[in-house]
């Protein structure tokens, strides 16, 4: 940014990764002439659901069209509806807050823990009302929300937990899979995620009747022989195609190795970044016994570093390091308009016709001044890749004051 050569001139690992296995899987679907999700269950869908459930350590899994529809279906399967409140974290993608609105329930925003950027169980406790039906913790970036504390809170108040596991397929908390702690877990296979078919999602379920309800809700409300749930369900077509399931079968094969590799590279990156004053990587919780990295997150201390977070990120990009700032607090995101008729109607039904604008100070601070986010594929390379990131951060730190004082063509 001040002239000179960037640290990194070569691209990092390209995402998504695929090889002959995806090709063969797709060919298999092509010649089978069985391409869709109906009539279900289908060959690839059944196989993928069974393999993913085993991988995640849950009884069963239900493939869906996306992570967004997985969350919507999970809440509907639990009976969340008009007049209810659902607690979600302030920092997440808008889909987490969209899901309750799709059920005509009000999303209520909890602040996040500065150590992880995941939902803060203390903030959750303060937001529980007689209308609260569920908590949707998001396992954000590479961390898992504090499942011990949240499970206890949910038990105490008889609330359901739906884990938003969009970022962390394969992750384990005290040796138990993410998505197996709550009543249901929801995953995304959208293009940028750690395993992908371009689009897609899956719901993990322990309870057979909840599974039946999810199956019915994603399949236009159809019942399967032997289903035991009683009330009629209004469903839609949220099925996953055979193409997606086929690709995901191959993606899943690579997951254990990719998870381990990224985790090793992340440990190297953490320990080296920590040595730079003003940079604080998000630490790995000791209870996170298998760590899936979707985003490598670290915090900067603008005062100690001597330059604003925004200018730091701009400088990292100028050095050839892909990075961003993570998700903005949903309640102020352009993707979650607070004056949308659907949101306002959901609030009204929950007795809040003029909902106050939420304000979560930790989420605001993290988003405005602290978080730096590096996409996971960068960690799929070798040690030299990690060392380039560290070299870029160290270079910026060493000339932070000069950078802060420089007149640049844009603000920040
Ligand atoms: C935390 C979180 N939840 C849910 C979703 C929604 O997933 P999808 O894009 O597959 O609908 C995303 C997607 O980016 C996400 O990051």
pLDDT for 374? 98
Could you read off the pLDDT of 220-233 as tens digits, one per residue? 999 999 999 999 89
- 89 touches ligand 1 (CB under 6 Å): no
Into how many domains does the chain fold? 1
* Structure confidence at residue 291 (pLDDT): 98
The residue with tokens 């352009």 is 334
- Give yes or no for residue 95 having a pLDDT over 60: yes
Q: Is the pTM of this model over 0.85?
A: yes
Please give the distance, rounded to the nearest whole angstrom, from the Cα atom of residue 7 to the centre of ligand 1: 32
Mean pLDDT of the residues in the chain: 97
User: What is the whole-number distance in angstroms between the Cα of residue 137 and the centre of ligand 1?
Assistant: 13
Distance, in Å, from the CA atom of 392 to the CA atom of 237, rounded to the nearest integer, reads 47
Asked, for residue 386, whether it belongs to a domain, the answer is: no
User: Does a structural domain hold residue 143?
Assistant: yes
Nearest atom of ligand 1 to the alpha carbon of 92: 1
Assess if residue 332 is contained within a domain: no
Residue 321 domain-assigned (yes or no):
no
Angle between helices 341-349 and 95-102 (to 10 degrees): 60
Q: State the pLDDT confidence band at 410, using cuts at 50, 70 and 90.
A: low
* Distance in angstroms (rounded) separating the CA atoms of residues 237 and 220: 5
**Candidate from 63, 69, 89, 93 with most ligand 1 atoms within 8 A of CB, to mutate:** 93
Assess if residue 302 is contained within a domain: no
Q: What spacing in Å lies between the alpha carbon of 45 and ligand 1's midpoint?
A: 20
Verify whether ligand 1 is closer than 6 Å to residue 93 (CB atom).
yes
pLDDT for 5 beyond 90: yes
Determine phi and psi for 407, rounding to 5 degrees: -85, 115
Tell me if 98 is assigned to some domain.
yes
Work out the percent of the chain whose per-residue pLDDT is above 90: 96
Q: Tokens standing for 125?
A: 């406790």
Q: What is the pLDDT of residue 3?
A: 87
Q: Strand 132-135 to strand 85-89: parallel, antiparallel, or no bridges (unpaired)? A: parallel
- Listed range (2-11, 381-390, 400-409) with the worst mean pLDDT: 400-409
pLDDT at 412 over 90: no
Task: Please determine, for residue 378, whether its predicted confidence score (pLDDT) is greater than 80.
Answer: yes
Share of the chain above pLDDT 70, in %: 99
Least confident range from 30-39, 71-80, 202-211: namely 30-39
CA of 187 to the centre of ligand 1 (A): 8
Count Cβ atoms below 10 Å from residue 2 Cβ, excluding itself. 10
CATH number of the domain enclosing 32: 3.40.640.10
Quickly list DSSP for 142-202.
T----HHHHHHHHHHHT-EEEEE-TT-TT-EETTEETTSSSSEEEEE-BTTSSS-SBS-EE
Confirm whether 84 is domain-assigned: yes
95 Cβ closer than 6 Å to some ligand 1 atom: yes
Q: Is the CB of 188 under 6 A from ligand 1?
A: yes
| Pairing outcome for strands 85-89 and 106-110 | parallel
Any domain includes 231: yes
Q: How far apart, in whole angstroms, are the C-alpha atoms of residue 124 and residue 104?
A: 21
Angle in degrees, CA 163, 165, 170, rounded to 5: 125
Tell whether ligand 1 has an atom less than 6 A from the beta carbon of residue 164. yes
H or E, element range at 204: strand 201-205
Q: Which domain holds residue 44?
A: 20-250
* pLDDT tens per residue, range 277-310: 999 999 999 999 999 999 999 999 999 999 999 9
pLDDT band at 411 (very low <50, low <70, confident <90, very high): low
């Amino acid at each position: 940014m001040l002239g000179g050569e960037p640290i990194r001139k070569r691209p990092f690992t390209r995402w998504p990764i695929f090889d002959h296995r995806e090709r063969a899987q797709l060919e298999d679907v092509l010649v089978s002439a069985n391409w869709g999700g109906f009539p279900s269950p289908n060959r690839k869908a059944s196989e993928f659901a069974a393999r993913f459930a085993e991988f995640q350590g849950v009884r069963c899994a239900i493939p869906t069209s996306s992570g967004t529809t997985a969350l919507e279906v999970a809440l509907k399967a639990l009976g969340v509806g008009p007049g209810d409140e659902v607690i979600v974290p302030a920092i997440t993608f808008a889909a987490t807050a969209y899901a309750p609105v799709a059920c005509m329930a009000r999303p209520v925003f909890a602040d996040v823990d500065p150590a992880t950027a995941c939902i803060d169980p203390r903030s959750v406790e303060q937001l529980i009302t007689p209308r609260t039906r569920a908590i949707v913790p998001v396992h954000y970036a590479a961390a898992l929300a504090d499942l011990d504390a949240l499970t206890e809170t949910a038990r105490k108040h008889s609330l359901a937990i739906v884990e938003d596991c969009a970022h962390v397929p394969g992750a384990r908390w005290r040796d138990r899979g993410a998505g197996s702690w709550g009543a249901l877990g929801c995953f995304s296979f959208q293009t940028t995620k750690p395993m992908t078919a371009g689009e897609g999602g899956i719901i993990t379920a322990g309870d057979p009747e909840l599974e039946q309800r999810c199956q019915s809700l994603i399949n236009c409300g159809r019942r399967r022989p032997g289903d035991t749930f009683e009330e009629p369900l209004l469903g839609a077509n949220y099925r996953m195609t055979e193409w997606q399931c086929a690709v995901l079968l191959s993606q899943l094969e690579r997951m254990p190795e990719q998870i381990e590799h990224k985790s090793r590279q992340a440990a190297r990156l953490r320990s080296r970044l920590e040595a730079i004053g003003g940079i604080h990587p998000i630490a790995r919780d000791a209870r996170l016994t298998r760590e899936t990295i979707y985003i490598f997150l670290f915090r900067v201390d603008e005062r100690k570093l001597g330059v604003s977070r925004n200018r730091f990120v701009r400088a990292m990009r100028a050095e050839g390091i892909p990075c961003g700032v993570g998700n903005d607090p949903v309640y102020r995101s352009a993707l979650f308009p607070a004056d949308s008729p659907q949101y306002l109607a959901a609030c009204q039904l929950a007795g809040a016709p003029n909902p106050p604008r939420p304000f979560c100070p930790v989420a605001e601070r993290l988003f405005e001044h602290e978080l730096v986010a590096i996409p996971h594929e960068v960690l799929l390379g070798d040690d030299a890749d990690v060392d380039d990131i560290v070299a870029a951060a160290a270079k910026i730190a060493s000339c932070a004051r000069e950078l802060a004082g420089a007149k640049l063509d844009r603000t920040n």
